[in-house]
Amino acid sequence: MSKTRIAFIGAGNMASSLIGGLLAKGFDAAQIRASDPGADTRAKVAAEHGIDVFAENEKAVQDADVIVIAVKPQAMKAVCQDLRPHLQPKQLVVSIAAGINASSLLEWLGTQQPLVRCMPNTPALLGKGVSGLFATQQVTQAQRALADELLSAVGVVVWVEQEAQIDAVTAVSGSGPAYFFLLIEAMTNAGVKLGLSHDVAEKLAEHTALGAACMAVDSDADAAELRRRVTSPAGTTEAAIKSFQASGFEATVEKALSAAAHRSAELAEQLGQ
């Protein structure tokens, strides 16, 4: 277990999930502190996790090895600029804010600050997330390992070597939970049209998504092979898959993810001003 000191700036949903995940992994509450302007938020996080909390961000970052900035994207510029005079060159800053480029963050924090930019997703709130991480040049191997350990507290971690790939991560996993919600919704409604009650159709759709995801993650075979294995010639699954494909399912998915990646780049441009 690492003895790293971690400061969270912003103690909302994501910070609380990360803190809970770190404690569950064996981190000591004394290694973690957080700052937040909300007295109620501070009281809640302190009571839930037993960590020190501060109203002032500069108090939280003192002597921290890693500073996780977990405020809304719109608050990032002011928070980074206010922190800048209080940062030490060796402190790793981890940003989990959606849509803010490393170049903007470094402009606000100081260009030499080691920085890891992360794109987590909502299931991280249940410890079932997947995050895409990008490290800037100043980040050491040890700091990379720390960022990996940190985000692993709420799920699976992947690294990308080019920052532009974060837009693709956003398109696949950042926005991805909503695609599965849409599919669950559509399958539930279709089940109702086929004669099931809403509750039964929803339970079937939700647990089918969960079971299929578990099989895909656990199996050595890829999704295409798993699909072939459950698709008997001239059977019911084949009838459905043929219907999906005749309606251009793959092209629809590709187009949707391109739209998300494009919007991610556009938002980064706007939020980085």
Ligand X SMILES: NC(=O)c1ccc[n+]([C@@H]2O[C@H](COP(=O)([O-])OP(=O)(O)OC[C@H]3O[C@@H](n4cnc5c(N)ncnc54)[C@H](OP(=O)(O)O)[C@@H]3O)[C@@H](O)[C@H]2O)c1
Picking from 190, 120, 133, 207, the residue whose alpha carbon sits closest to that of residue 163 is 133
Q: Min. distance of Cβ 221 from ligand X in angstroms?
A: 30
User: How far is the C-alpha of 25 from the C-alpha of 1, rounded, in Å?
Assistant: 8
What is the footprint of ligand X within residues 20-39 (CB under 6 A)? 35-38
Using the contact rule CB under 6 A, the part of the chain among 102-110, 120-128, 165-173, 229-237 near ligand X is 120-128
Written as six digits, the tokens of 195 are 């004669």
Contact residue for ligand X among 31, 91, 101, 121 (CB under 6 A):
121
9 contributes a contact to ligand X by CB under 6 A: yes
CB 114, CB 64: distance < 8 Å: no
Query: How are beta strands 32-35 and 129-135 bridged, if at all?
Result: unpaired
Contact residue for ligand X among 91, 104, 122, 175 (CB under 6 A):
122
What is the footprint of ligand X within residues 83-102 (CB under 6 A)? 96-98
Q: Min. distance of Cβ 58 from ligand X in angstroms?
A: 10
Residues 6+ apart with CB under 8 A from 167: 261, 262, 264, 265, 268
248 contributes a contact to ligand X by CB under 6 A: no
41 contributes a contact to ligand X by CB under 6 A: yes
73 contributes a contact to ligand X by CB under 6 A: yes
Contact residue for ligand X among 39, 43, 72, 210 (CB under 6 A):
72
> The tokens 């949707």 sit on which residue?
256
DSSP 78-138: HHHHHHGGG--TTPEEEE--TT--HHHHHHHH-TTS-EEEEE--GGGGGT-EEEEEEE-TT
Contact residue for ligand X among 64, 70, 147, 168 (CB under 6 A):
70
Where does this chain bind ligand X (CB under 6 A)? Answer: 9-15, 35-38, 41, 57, 70-73, 75, 79, 96-98, 120-122, 124-125
